[in-house]
Each structure stands twice: as structure tokens, then as C-alpha cells.
Structure 1
């Protein structure tokens, strides 16, 4: 075994020259369950074996007590720089239990394939395949009984954090350009979205050069065929199709001390100018770092953000 590094993206991932991959966080998993705190039920469903794509489904306590009303559906895309994390990690499992309980929604948490074993666009393709699978439940006769029985596909929302927010944005664009007929996308929540660009904006001018170089290099590592940091996949400001985003409202959450903060604000500005006829709102958490709400879900800012998401969906 060689300890020579081919890629070092500390604190996310290291790849050795002999091919070994060392994910530095996000590898532990929890089984689906009935959550003792919230009574939210979850279960795992394989939607494709080639390529391997799974989801974790969540239904709130109300589905066992109220039999008639169908609930909004949230499709969630986890973060992790496209390299780390899963729909089954304790972080995302616990977050979705609380979000499903508070918002009283059905949720589909997508477990897409990860870089470097599966370079981008694999994560986008897996996420789109998941949306097509969700759409197959539109008439109430899809393969998954929980969605047939409990999900209102006229009230669909997407959300994700970091790389997952990038995916959520692109899935919203595909819904707009490819017109999935089987459901109506009402809104998208982008939490600390992973966008970037060749030219620094705002506070990025003050960032350490090695940090900005790392962000650009990480993107090339994730997407070897990319044109670079101004690829429309990473820089929505360069996307001529931006105005075709397939929903009526967008909430962008940013954190004051996150190096990606200005990209979230910039996204809201270019979206307004794109010809898109929806409403975009930005919520900034003061004094907070990237994905603080997952690290410390009970802090005041995380609770405030959760309440904001709940009111956005309802």
C-alpha cells in the first residue's frame, strides 16, 4: 500500500495513488426506523440496481392518524461535496426526521452515487432517475405504497445543502426544461449552495488563495469533463437556461461566515434578472459557518431556519 497522495481535499476526501479512497467524514449509517422523538417512520427503497440508486422515505405521525389528506412531498439531496455523505447517514437521517415532523410532509431522501468512483454527472443522473420514479406515482398506482397513499404530487418541493443544493437547483431546471408532467414543483430550498465561478465576487476577494484554489480543484476532480469554474453547472450566472427554472418560488439560505455565502446571494440576483417569473428570497444566518444547522441542529439559528423552511413549504 502506498501512502502517496493523488488528491488531497482535506477535510473532505483523500485519494491515494494506489487508488484507495479515504472519505474523511460522512461514512457512518443508521438503519431506517420509527423515530422515538417524532414518531416519524422511515424505510429504504431500491429504485434502480444498474446504476445503484436508493432512497430513504419518511412519513410523519399524522399519516397514521389522519387517513384522508395527502401531504406535500419533499425530495431531499444530501451534501458532501459530491464525494461524501449518504441518505442513510445519522446527520441526514436525524435532520429529515425533524423536518418531516415539523413540516408534516412526506420526504424522499436521495442516495446518489459518489465521486470519485462515479464522477459527475452520475449524481445528477441518479437524482433525475429518482424524480422519474417519484413521477410514476402520479395516478396513485406507482410501485411504492407510501407515495401512492400519502404524497400529494401537486405540491412537490426540492431541497438540499451544499452540493445537494447544487443538485436541487439542477433538478429544478430539468423539471422546467423537460416538463415532468406527473408532478408540480412548487418551490426549492437551497441551503448554503455549492456554486462557484472564475471571477471572485464580494467577500471571496478576501479568501485565502489556497482555499479558492481548492474549491476550483475539487470541482474539476468531481467533474473531469467540466469546462471549469464557469461551467453553468457550477456557475448559474453563466447558464442561458436559468430563466426556465421549473418552480414559482425559491428560498436561498446562506451563513455569514461561509465562504460560499456570496454565491448564494449572487444566485438570487442572477435568477431575478434571468426572465424567470417566480419569487426568490434569501435568509442569512449571522455568525454561522457552512452547514451549521447539521452540526448543531438545536442552536437558535438552526431552529429559526427550520421554522422558515416549514412556513415556505406550508
Structure 2
């Protein structure tokens, strides 16, 4: 066997790295083009926002969009451990078509560069570039945003690693207060957070914690470990400055990461942040269940609750 094809790092079932440096992704490789979705009437298109980095976004506009009635704007970050999946993955494309239609919102889905070829914090920097690009479109030239989006009602959201990104982008909004939009709230679905010490009902046995710890350090080689503020909001002294006033957290009963979602609520409430945070738990479900089968009642309920959060207090 060619030694270059021997497995050097194995992160089954997500990916593995060969001795020759090749990254083999074992999931999340399928893509679908942007299009008009016949089921929802939602239109989508891809837009390059940085020619040097290759970062792009996929925009979604619902069928009912009307320039006379501007719609909430959602910036969405996909999950996949910072390693697998893209904004063009079928599961995310389907989910955001459904969400844009249910909530009647404009969506910007960020296609950031992935580890390990582009180690963290590159995904954070790409995501911040996307946030700044969206803010610039409040007086910019992208017609779908300029015509249909209400930049006073902006939300960040994501699932798993994407929820981690949404939180960290909201922290940065609080620090830098960029012009061009108002961040009203964030939605964190099955957040990919962790820490050195177990919280809540997390397993304490090393064998149940080692995969997440190894994955984080491998994808973020400059990190001090899982108590890095990027990964553990409880270790971030900036948490009280989270740049929004409403947070919705989804957890799934059978998800190993459930306890981190509950802990996030505790951390926010005791930080002095002063906003409103809510947790919704889905019984009998596991991590990102809604992406695998969007037709279940639990998946539909998650989308409806998500949509209701973005439309809370909406007038007109």
C-alpha cells in the first residue's frame, strides 16, 4: 500500500486525513444548484463576496417578497464541525427554502472555508466578512437585499458549528457595532460548544469526550483547548456584550451537546447581558434531526418556532 494513502487522522464518520495530506470527507459532499424551488416558490442564487478567499453566499427570497414591505433578514451559518457540508448541501438548501417560506424572510447562507485545509479561525473571519458584506448592502448594489430586506430586523442563526459561528458573530457585533444593520436576535440550533469540565448531565468518562476534544484541537491548531472562548462561551469575558437582545436556543433530548445549550442560557443570564433568552427542547430526537427528515412533525415544529421568533413583534 502506498504510504501516502495510509490514514493519518481518522475522524469517522465525518472525515479522515491521509499521510499524503489528502482530506477525504465521508459525508456532506453532495451539492445542489441555486434555483426556483417549486415546492415553496422560494428563489435562490449564489453571490461571490470575496474573490481572493472564494467566500460566497447563497441568497433566498420568498415568493411573497414585495419591495413595499421589507422582510426580516436572516444570516445563516451551516454546520458540519467546521469540516463537512456547504451552503449548497441538499439538507441546508431544503431547510432554508422551507424556513424562508414559513417565516417570510430573506436569507443569506454563508459558504465559509472549511478546516482542516483552512484551519480555524479562518471560518470565523470568513463569516465576519460575510456579515460586513451584508451590512454594506443596506446601501449597496445587491438587488435582492436592497429591495427586499429590512436591515433593522437582522438575525443570525446556525446549527451545530453554525450555531457556534452565529454566537461568535453576535459577540463581534457587540464589540464592533458595525454600521448598516441592527442585530435583533440569534437562533442557536444544537450548538457545537464544549469545555474542559463537564456541565449538566454531560458524560464525564474520557472516552465519551475525546472525539470532540480531538476534533476541536485538530481544526483549530492554535487553540488552547476546549475552554477557548470560541468553543466555550462560559470562558469568554465578553459574553455580557452579546450584540443582540433576544436569543432562542434549540436542544434535542438525545443530543450529546444538549447540556451545552442549557449551559449557554445559564451563562448568559448570569453574565449581566440583560436580554431575553429561551430554550426549546425537542423530545426523542438527536443532533440536527430536522436536516435529515424535514417532513416529521418535530422538524416542522422547529421551523415554525424558528419562524415565529423572527416575526415576534413584527408590524406591518
TM-score normalised per structure 2: 0.96
Superposition deviation, residue 211 in structure 1: 3.2
Look up the SS of the partner of 2:278 in the other structure: strand
Partner of 2:184: 186
Correspondent of 2:147 among 146, 149, 165 = 149
Cα contact 2:203–2:209 (8 A) shared by 1: no
Deviations 1:195-248 (A, max 9, x none): 000011222226x63331010000001100001011111000010000000001
Deviations 1:270-306 (A, max 9, x none): 0111110100000011111100010111111111111
Aligned equivalents of 1:67 and 1:4: distance in 2?
56
Deviations 1:6-30 (A, max 9, x none): 2111111111111111111111110
Aligned equivalents of 1:163 and 1:282: distance in 2?
18
Partner of 2:255: 258
Superposition deviation, residue 138 in structure 1: 1.8
Partner of 2:314: none
Look up the SS of the partner of 2:195 in the other structure: coil
Correspondent of 1:49 among 48, 51, 59 = 51
Q: Which runs of 5+ in 1 are unaligned?
A: none
Look up the SS of the partner of 1:203 in the other structure: coil
Partner of 1:243: 240
Partner of 2:203: 205
Partner of 2:78: 78
Aligned equivalents of 1:6 and 1:191: distance in 2?
32
Partner of 1:129: 129
Cα contact 2:75–2:107 (8 A) shared by 1: yes
Superposition deviation, residue 180 in structure 1: 1.0
2:90 is the alignment partner of 1:90: yes
Look up the SS of the partner of 1:136 in the other structure: helix
2:286 is the alignment partner of 1:289: yes
Partner of 1:108: 108
Q: Which is further off, 226-235 or 130-139? A: 130-139
Partner of 1:160: 158
Aligned equivalents of 1:214 and 1:193: distance in 2?
16
2:171 is the alignment partner of 1:173: yes
Superposition deviation, residue 181 in structure 1: 1.8
Partner of 1:38: 40
Cα contact 2:200–2:263 (8 A) shared by 1: no
Partner of 1:275: 272
Q: Which runs of 5+ in 2 are unaligned?
A: 312-316
Look up the SS of the partner of 1:204 in the other structure: coil
TM-score normalised per structure 1: 0.97
Superposition deviation, residue 143 in structure 1: 2.7
Aligned equivalents of 1:21 and 1:98: distance in 2?
32
Q: Name the count of aligned residue pairs.
A: 309
Superposition deviation, residue 67 in structure 1: 3.7
Look up the SS of the partner of 1:309 in the other structure: helix
CA RMSD of aligned residues (A): 1.0
